[in-house]
A and B are shown apart, each in its own frame.
Chain A
Amino acid sequence: DVKVTQSSRYLVKRTGEKVFLECVQDMDHENMFWYRQDPGLGLRLIYFSYDVKMKEKGDIPEGYSVSREKKERFSLILESASTNQTSMYLCASSAEQPNQPQHFGDGTRLSIL
C-alpha cells in the first residue's frame, strides 16, 4: 500500500513565524502535491512537483514556497505565517504516468495565532 506521511497532525504557530510542513512518501512516486482544505472551498492546490528540485505553482501559491531535495520528501514552507493560513494542509503523491490516482496523507491541521 502507498504510504504518505505528514510529519504533524496538529500544529500551532504564531504570526510571523517561519513554518515547515513535511511530507514523505514511500512509493517512489515522481509527483507530489500540497493542498489546503477550507470549509466551503474544497481542496485548493498550492504547489506541486513532478521531479526532484522541480516545482510548479498551483492555484494559490502566494505566501508559500516548497522544497524537493529528495524524491520521497516534499516540504511546504510558510515564509511568514499569517492568520489566514490557518487551515488543513494535505500532501499527496502520484506516479509519473498521466491519470494515475493521487494518494493522500492524513493531513496537518495548522493554526496560526
Chain B
Amino acid sequence: GEDVEQSLFLSVREGDSSVINCTYTDSSSTYLYWYKQEPGAGLQLLTYIFSNMDMKQDQRLTVLLNKKDKHLSLRIADTQTGDSAIYFCAEFGYGGSQGNLIFGKGTKLSVKP
C-alpha cells in the first residue's frame, strides 16, 4: 500500500534555512501537500504541488518535487521561531476512496534563537 516517510526531527538556528524531506510510494499521486501543526492546534494547509511541476515557490516556502525518486522537500528560508511546529507531508492515495490523503508521521521543527 501507499506509504509516506519523513524524518521525525529537525533543529535549525533562527535565520538559517530549513529543509524538510519526504518520500512517498504511490507513483500515481497527482497532488502532494505540506501541512503545519502548531502545538495544541489542528493542521493548517501550507502549500501543495501538482505532480507535473518540479518546483513551487510561495514567499519563504519552496517546494521541490523529484518525481523519479518520489521525493518531496519543503524549504523554509530565513526560519523564524514562529516556524517551530510539526510539518506533515501528504499525498493523495488512489488506494483509498475519493478524497483520502496519506500522511507522513510528521517532522518536528525546532528553531533555536
Q: Does A pair with B?
A: yes
* Residues of chain A at the chain B interface (Cβ within 8 Å): 4, 6, 30-31, 33, 40-43, 45, 48, 50, 56, 90, 92, 94, 96, 98-107, 109
The CA-CA distance from A104 to B88 in the complex, in Å, is 13
Q: Is the CB of B99 within 8 A of A94?
A: yes
Q: Is the CB of A45 within 8 A of B42?
A: no
Q: Is the CB of A107 within 8 A of B41?
A: yes
Quick one: which of B39-87 are within 8 Å of A by CB? 40-45, 48
Chain A residues in 8 Å Cβ range of B40:
107, 109
The CA-CA distance from A101 to B33 in the complex, in Å, is 8
The CA-CA distance from A50 to B35 in the complex, in Å, is 22
The CA-CA distance from A42 to B88 in the complex, in Å, is 9
Query: How many B residues have CB within 8 A of the partner chain?
Result: 22
13 examples of A-B residue contacts, CB within 8 angstroms: A33-B99, A42-B103, A43-B88, A45-B100, A48-B99, A50-B97, A56-B97, A94-B99, A98-B30, A98-B99, A101-B33, A104-B42, A106-B41
The CA-CA distance from A94 to B33 in the complex, in Å, is 13
Q: Is the CB of B98 within 8 A of A31?
A: yes
Q: Which of A33, A42, A101, A104 contacts B104 (CB 8 A)?
A: A42
